[in-house]
Amino acid sequence: MTTRSTIRRIFVGIAAASVFLATVPRTSAQARVIEVTADSDSRYKIAGQHTPEITVKAGEQILLRVTAHRGKTWNRDGSIHGFTLLRAKDRTKVDGWDLLFKPGAQEFLLTVPKEPGAYEVVCTVICSEDHEGMHMKFTVLP
């Protein structure tokens, strides 16, 4: 094998690897799945929990699997509920965690903030007169 053909093979190999990486689905197998219903009564619901609450580990990847049902009102763009993560201490938004839901099932691959502590999820769509009550605790463990 000549040097030139070796180099060419390496190049083709790298190109093939890049294509492979680009087409790997973003739903990582390691991501923990968290299922939430954003319901028509302007409440988040999690199966098996009386008061819904999410507890995760700092920096971990989660797959948020949402089923959303329309309340009484919704946004012009068709979003029926929101899901925005705020730091509890100062109510500032966490980057990348400002989600809007459409009716039905949808998934979001998200990375938990690196800073452990208390957070809160709030709905950002005026989904009914009970919209203000649409929030839940979100705890990030070290």
* Contact between 70 and Cu ion per CB under 5 A: no
Dist. CA 96–CA 30, nearest whole Å: 19
Within residues 77-116, the interface with Cu ion by CB under 5 A covers 81
Nearest to 32 by CA among 12, 55, 16: 55
- Radius of gyration, alpha carbons of the chain: 20
Q: How far is the CB of 69 from Cu ion (least distance, A)?
A: 10
Report how many residues bind Cu ion under the rule CB under 5 A. 5
Residues 8-47, interacting with Cu ion (CB under 5 A): 42
Q: 86 and 57 in contact (C-beta within 8 Å)?
A: no
- Smallest gap from residue 100 Cβ to Cu ion (A): 10
Burial class (CB in 10 A: 0-12, 13-18, 19+), 51: exposed
66 is an interface residue for Cu ion by CB under 5 A: no
Q: Judged by CB under 5 A, does residue 68 bind Cu ion?
A: no
Residues of this chain, 113-132, that bind Cu ion according to CB under 5 A: 123, 127
Shortest separation between residue 33's beta carbon and Cu ion, angstroms = 22
Neighbour-count burial of 18, counting CB atoms closer than 10 A to its CB (0-12 exposed, 13-18 middle, 19+ buried)? exposed
CB of 140 to Cu ion, least distance (A): 23
Contact positions toward Cu ion, by CB under 5 A? Answer: 42, 81, 123, 127, 134
